[in-house]
């Protein structure tokens, strides 16, 4: 098990003032390699409840270094998955998917993504299938101080560090996980 602490999200937190006065909280727990199907790895992540100051609790966010997609399924609670496709400091596409228990979402291979716990008073438990060849890249989102939108207690707020951001759109989750996960294999997506 890996634990992500508040200090690990220092560069991507929206509410910097709140961050400076907060203890180093345990935000979420990652259980990697809980299962395996061929070259695919099954991970489980549990996010605590409560806000990060003015923002909903979230993951640090990352992009995959290789041409690899990912599939997430919510096991308990509800999540907002935010996905963005960047070209430098310009975001060509950005969308969010509100996902509830037993619903899934596919993360396209060329998109950075962040997950928000969409509830302030219950934990979020989610699982993902991804290629074992996958390497995560965190530096771009750290340099930009987060994704192009923050999910705050007052709604979605643009991150002003980006030069140009597409309008945020909302998509629907998959009601059922795909049976064939071959599209997640390295170089297939």
When pLDDT is cut at 50, 70 and 90, the band that residue 189 belongs to is: very low
Query: Each residue of 40-75: pLDDT tens digit?
Result: 999 999 999 999 999 999 999 999 988 899 999 999
How many whole angstroms separate alpha carbon 164 and alpha carbon 175? 33
Q: CB–CB of 148/165 below 8 Å?
A: yes
The tens digit of pLDDT for each residue in 106-164 reads 999 999 999 999 999 999 999 999 999 999 999 999 999 999 999 999 999 999 999 99
Q: List helix spans (H) across 16-93.
A: 16-20
Please state, in angstroms and as integers, the Cα–Cα distance from residue 10 to each residue in 6, 14, 69, 178, following that order.
7, 9, 26, 35
Query: What's the pTM?
Result: 0.96
- The residues pairing with 153 across neighbouring beta strands, listed in sequence order, are none
What's the pLDDT score for residue 106?
97
**CATH value of 2-170 in 2.60.120.10, 3.20.20.70, 1.20.210.10, 3.40.50.980:** 2.60.120.10
β-strand 90-100 against 164-165: which pairing, if any? Answer: parallel
185 confidence band (pLDDT: 50, 70, 90): confident
pLDDT at residue 188 is higher than 70 = no
Check pLDDT > 60 for residue 172: yes
Question: What's the pLDDT band for 187 if we cut at 50, 70, 90?
Answer: low
């Amino acid at each position: 098990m890996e634990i992500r602490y508040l200090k690990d999200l220092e560069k991507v937190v929206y509410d910097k003032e709140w961050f400076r006065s907060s203890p180093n909280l345990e935000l979420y727990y990652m259980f990697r390699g809980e299962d395996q199907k061929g070259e695919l790895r099954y991970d489980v992540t549990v996010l605590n409840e409560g806000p990060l100051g003015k923002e909903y609790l979230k993951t640090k966010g990352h992009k995959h270094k290789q041409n690899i997609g990912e599939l997430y399924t919510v096991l308990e609670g509800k999540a907002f998955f935010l996905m963005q496709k960047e070209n430098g400091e310009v975001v060509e596409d950005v969308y969010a998917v509100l996902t509830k228990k037993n619903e899934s979402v596919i993360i396209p291979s060329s998109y950075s993504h962040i997950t928000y716990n969409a509830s302030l008073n219950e934990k979020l438990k989610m699982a993902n299938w991804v290629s074992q060849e996958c390497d995560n890249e965190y530096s771009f989102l750290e340099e930009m101080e987060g994704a192009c939108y923050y999910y705050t207690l007052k709604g979605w707020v643009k991150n002003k560090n980006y030069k140009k951001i597409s309008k945020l759109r909302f998509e629907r989750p998959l009601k059922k996980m795909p049976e064939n996960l071959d599209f997640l294999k390295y170089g297939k997506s």
